Amino acid sequence: MKLAVSGGMVGDYEELLRPALRMPWCIRFCPDRAALLAELGDADAVVTMSWAAGMPPAPHLRLLQLPGAGLDAVDLAAVPPTATVCNVYEHEIGIGEYVLATMLEKEIGLARLQAEIRADDWRSSLFCGGTPHGELFGKTLGIVGYGRIGRETAKRAKAFGLKVVAATRSPEKRDEQVDEIVGMAQLPQVLARADYLLIACPLSAETRGLIDRAAFAAMRRSAVLINVARGPVVDEDALYEACRDRLIAGAVIDVWYNYPKGGARIEPPSKHPLKHLDNVLMTPHVSGVSGGLLRRRWSLIANNLNRLAAGQPLLNVVRAPLSAP
């Protein structure tokens, strides 16, 4: 059986894939789009994050395996009807830890405190009239979208003594980590109560611009927004205005509105100068990219390839085949 793996970065992880395969797959690592297109004619499976309209025929394709969770660059209507589309997650562990780390940084201010004492400056110490730093205990974490990321974050938040309330499309799917869970129609109630508001929902027509000026107006002035979902879930103009004008206490942003293209490394992530606001903590879409992420993901990809070869049900199915191969 033949497997085509797309992308230079993906090809770097061959050592994570081959040892886990139980069948002698013929693997073609494709460093660019042209190389991938050349392999589609007889590929049984493809690992790629992108499948656009106009792709050449792939008559033998039985599995389109995404090495990530998002479907942003996949046109499901263009995927051959004989193929199952699957994705992988596993980023929720790193994201959960990232969210707690940023919340702790907002409360304690370790970076600021270290910079001061490195400069022999004791201004924040109680010895010199400083004030106590904050703590997470007893605060409320609001979560928008209670999927894998929301659950992993809630698990960690409960260990720190936070109350967790969530708004989700499936409020009946509750667990012991969430104190309250409501439907999306009750989102304003969550906004009004949250000390920290985590955006963890998928980007869709319904969620694009979900956190807009009205949403920011409903939040506490002491609240901090954390976006690890997709940039456009939060209205870009409203976000800048809310942080600039201190309508909320600040924001943690890991997902953006502009991304580098064509191998470039320099690209402003927003049309607004968020980098000049001292109440905004910014990172370059790295919250889920932890040391164990790729190992876990490629283990799951290998598992699906083994299942495909053995005729067993596949995992994390996004779209089942529309017709028999």
DSSP string, 143-207: EES-SHHHHHHHHHHHHTT-EEEEEES-TT---TT-SEEEEGGGHHHHHHH-SEEEE-PPP-TTT
Average pLDDT over residues 42-68: 95
pLDDT band at 262 (very low <50, low <70, confident <90, very high): confident
pLDDT on residue 8: 56
Residue 228 near residue 95, CB atoms below 8 Å:
yes
Q: In whole angstroms, what is the distance from residue 118 CA to residue 190 CA? A: 40
The mean of the pLDDT values for the chain is 94
Flag whether pLDDT at 10 surpasses 70.
no
For the sheet with 63-65, list strands across it: 26-30, 2-6, 45-47, 63-65, 84-86, 317-319
pLDDT band at 110 (very low <50, low <70, confident <90, very high): very high
pLDDT band at 15 (very low <50, low <70, confident <90, very high): confident
pLDDT band at 325 (very low <50, low <70, confident <90, very high): confident
pLDDT on residue 267: 96
pLDDT on residue 324: 79
Provide the b/e sequence for 72-87 (b: ≥16 CB within 10 Å).
eebeeeebbebbbbbb
Flag whether pLDDT at 11 surpasses 60.
no
Flag whether pLDDT at 190 surpasses 60.
yes
Percentage of the chain exceeding pLDDT 90: 88
Number of C-beta neighbours around residue 320 at 10 A = 10
Q: In whole angstroms, what is the distance from residue 282 CA to residue 279 CA? A: 10
pLDDT on residue 158: 97
Average pLDDT over residues 98-124: 97
Q: Work out the angle at residue 19's Cα, subtended by the Cα atoms of residues 15 and 22, and round it to the nearest 5 degrees.
A: 145
Average pLDDT over residues 99-108: 98
Closest among 295, 12, 35, 312 to 46, alpha carbons compared = 35
Half-sphere exposure of residue 75: CA atoms within 13 angstroms, side-chain side: 8
Tens-place pLDDT, residues 297-323: 999 999 999 999 999 999 999 999 998
CA atoms 297, 302, 306, 311: torsion sign: positive
Highest mean pLDDT among 19-23, 70-74, 207-211: 207-211
Q: Is 309 helix (H, G, I), strand (E, B) or coil?
A: helix
Q: Is 99 helix (H, G, I), strand (E, B) or coil?
A: helix
Tens-place pLDDT, residues 195-246: 999 999 999 999 999 999 999 999 999 999 999 999 999 999 999 999 999 9
Flag whether pLDDT at 187 surpasses 80.
yes
DSSP secondary structure letter of residue 263: T
pLDDT on residue 12: 60
pLDDT on residue 291: 87
Domains and CATH numbers, the chain: 2-90+292-319 (3.40.50.720), 92-282 (3.40.50.720)
DSSP secondary structure letter of residue 98: H
Q: Work out the angle at residue 273's Cα, subtended by the Cα atoms of residues 270 and 279, and round it to the nearest 5 degrees.
A: 105
Flag whether pLDDT at 9 surpasses 70.
no
Average pLDDT over residues 28-39: 90
pLDDT on residue 14: 79
Tens-place pLDDT, residues 87-101: 999 999 999 999 999
Average pLDDT over residues 104-117: 97
Polymer length in residues for the chain: 325
Which segments within the chain are labelled E, that is strand?
Answer: 2-6, 26-30, 45-47, 63-65, 84-86, 140-144, 163-168, 180-183, 196-199, 224-227, 250-253, 280-282, 317-319
Give residue 250's region: left, alpha or beta (phi > 0; psi -120 to 50).
Answer: left
Q: Which pTM was predicted? A: 0.90
